[in-house]
């Protein structure tokens, strides 16, 4: 079967890319990565609104970057340029620009302004639609009025989980070390949803702090264990004290939180626990030995207690995210670059060849957590769902 190809770029699309290129053509090093991503998002979102372009076409900014390179190859300001390069449509547009630069730029800016207006109007419509969907999901998911405790809830996947559970009508309890970040996260959730949001700053690597959290919020419907970041490194790179510190927070932290909350859930014959673990537990690597071993332990733990807890109508399930777009992703990429290249500034080179050409969005993990904890996901129990885009099985 022939491989499907993306349709040719329209004149409007090419004009947007040309406008970005021309804006930077006299300034080194040219368009920044942020510029390219901004244009990529504009094209992708506008395509979704107008339904005139394939939805995934511009999700990866590489397509936009390639067009900018093509225009550079056509530009006589650069060595090795030539009108034989690029597509016919690109060559024709470049020749028009060379002959009437002001007229072409006026047309390009007009397209950009029209696209921006459409995008702003469409975003308002999308937001209204999302709010309507959230209201319906609160009924559909069967979670309205439930109370959810999320550890590591001030940022990344934890904050995304708070937003997703709030969207279906849950009251939110957030815990992490940083009181300021917790307050900002709570304000963000409250601003979007009319739900109760409470916070408690605690160092969950310490047993007495986990017990203090349990004393403050003793009875919850859903527990999302998410706190913990285990460092990268080979066996010889991680001092045993650092290894223990990381496991105290994530591995022993998850286990202790389940010890504290599972008996209450079993006593009332209702409740769900969702453990956010990590793909390194399925595919351990020597360069992330502490994380791989810790995650593997939590996978086994989740399966074992889930198999037993169902006898009391309690669900225990896990999620294994692969590379997810969070602040931690950047930190981890820099560590990986240091190990692989000896230079952490080459971190972007460690994020290539991802499934679907991108990392996971934190919201994708959060929405899965909502489904799993809802009555709709009840039979998914005692297991850990791998979310890696099929990357573990690629040749």
CA-CA distance, 354 to 339, in Å (whole number)?
19
| 170 plus 49 within the same structural domain | no
| 195 plus 334 within the same structural domain | yes
| 283 plus 379 within the same structural domain | yes
Single out the residue in 91, 124, 157 at which a domain terminates.
124
Structural domain harbouring 115: 11-124
| 145 plus 119 within the same structural domain | no
Task: Give ∠ CA 369-261-137 in degrees, rounded to 5.
Answer: 30
DSSP of 117-178, one letter per residue? Answer: HHHHHHHHHHHHHHHHHHHHHHHHTT-TT-EEEEETTTSHHHHHHHHHHHHTT-EEEEEES-
CB-neighbour burial class of residue 103 (10 A; exposed 0-12, middle 13-18, buried 19+): exposed
| 198 plus 278 within the same structural domain | yes
Q: Cα(first)–Cα(last) distance of the chain, in Å?
A: 21
| 292 plus 242 within the same structural domain | yes
Asked if residue 220 is part of any domain, the answer here is: yes
| 266 plus 343 within the same structural domain | yes
Asked if residue 135 is part of any domain, the answer here is: no
Task: Give ∠ CA 361-184-163 in degrees, rounded to 5.
Answer: 40
What pairing do the DSSP bridges indicate for beta strands 171-176 and 272-276?
unpaired
Asked if residue 133 is part of any domain, the answer here is: no
| 311 plus 195 within the same structural domain | yes
| 330 plus 228 within the same structural domain | yes
Asked if residue 5 is part of any domain, the answer here is: no
- Predicted confidence at residue 182, as pLDDT, reads 96
| 75 plus 176 within the same structural domain | no
Where do we find the tokens 């999901």?
A: 137
| 369 plus 261 within the same structural domain | yes
Q: What b/e readout covers 163-183, taking b as 16+ CB neighbours within 10 angstroms? A: bbbbbbbbbbbbbbbeeebbe
Tens digit of pLDDT at every position of the chain (395 positions): 333 444 566 777 777 777 777 776 665 455 555 566 666 656 655 555 444 444 344 444 556 666 667 777 777 776 666 555 567 777 888 788 888 888 888 887 777 776 666 555 555 555 555 555 555 444 578 898 999 999 999 999 999 999 999 999 999 999 999 999 999 999 999 999 989 999 999 999 999 999 999 999 999 999 999 998 888 889 999 999 999 999 999 999 999 999 999 999 999 999 999 999 999 899 888 988 998 999 999 999 999 999 999 999 999 999 999 988 887 777 777 877 888 888 887 877 777 778 888 888 999 999 999 999 999 999 999 999 999 999 888 76
- Predicted confidence at residue 201, as pLDDT, reads 96
- Predicted confidence at residue 337, as pLDDT, reads 81
């Amino acid at each position: 079967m022939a491989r499907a190809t993306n349709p040719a770029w329209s004149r409007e699309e090419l004009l947007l890319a040309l406008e970005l290129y021309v804006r930077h053509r006299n300034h080194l090093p040219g368009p920044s990565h942020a510029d390219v991503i901004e244009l990529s998002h504009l094209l992708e979102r506008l395509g979704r609104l107008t339904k005139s372009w394939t939805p995934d076409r511009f999700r990866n900014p590489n397509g936009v970057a390639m067009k900018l390179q093509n225009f550079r190859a056509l530009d006589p300001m650069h060595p090795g340029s030539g009108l034989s390069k690029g597509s016919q449509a690109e060559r024709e547009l470049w020749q028009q620009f060379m002959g009437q630069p002001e007229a072409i730029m006026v047309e390009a800016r007009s397209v950009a302004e029209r696209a921006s207006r459409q995008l702003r109007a469409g975003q308002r419509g999308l937001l209204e639609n999302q709010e309507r969907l959230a209201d319906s999901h609160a009924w559909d998911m069967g979670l309205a009025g439930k109370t959810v405790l999320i550890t590591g809830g001030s940022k990344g996947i934890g904050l995304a989980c708070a937003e997703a559970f709030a969207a279906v009508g849950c009251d939110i309890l957030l815990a992490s070390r940083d009181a300021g970040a917790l307050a900002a996260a709570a304000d963000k959730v409250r601003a979007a949803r009319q739900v109760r949001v409470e916070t408690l700053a605690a160092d969950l690597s310490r047993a007495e702090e986990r017990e203090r959290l349990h004393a403050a919020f003793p009875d919850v419907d859903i527990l999302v264990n998410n706190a913990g970041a285990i460092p990268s490194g080979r066996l010889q790179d991680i001092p045993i004290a650092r290894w223990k510190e990381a496991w105290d927070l994530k591995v022993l932290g998850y286990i202790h939180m389940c010890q504290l909350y599972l008996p209450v859930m079993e006593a009332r014959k209702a409740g769900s626990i969702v453990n956010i673990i990590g793909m390194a537990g399925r595919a351990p690597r020597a360069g992330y030995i502490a994380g791989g071993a810790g995650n593997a332990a939590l996978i086994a733990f989740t399966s074992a207690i889930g198999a037993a807890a169902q006898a009391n109508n309690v669900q225990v399930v896990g999620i294994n995210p692969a590379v997810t777009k969070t602040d931690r992703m950047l930190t981890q990429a820099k560590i990986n670059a240091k190990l692989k290249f000896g230079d952490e500034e080459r971190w972007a080179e460690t994020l290539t060849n991802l499934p679907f050409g991108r990392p996971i969005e934190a919201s994708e993990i959060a929405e899965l957590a909502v489904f799993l904890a809802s009555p709709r996901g009840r039979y998914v129990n005692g297991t850990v769902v791998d979310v890696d885009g099929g990357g573990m099985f690629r040749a």
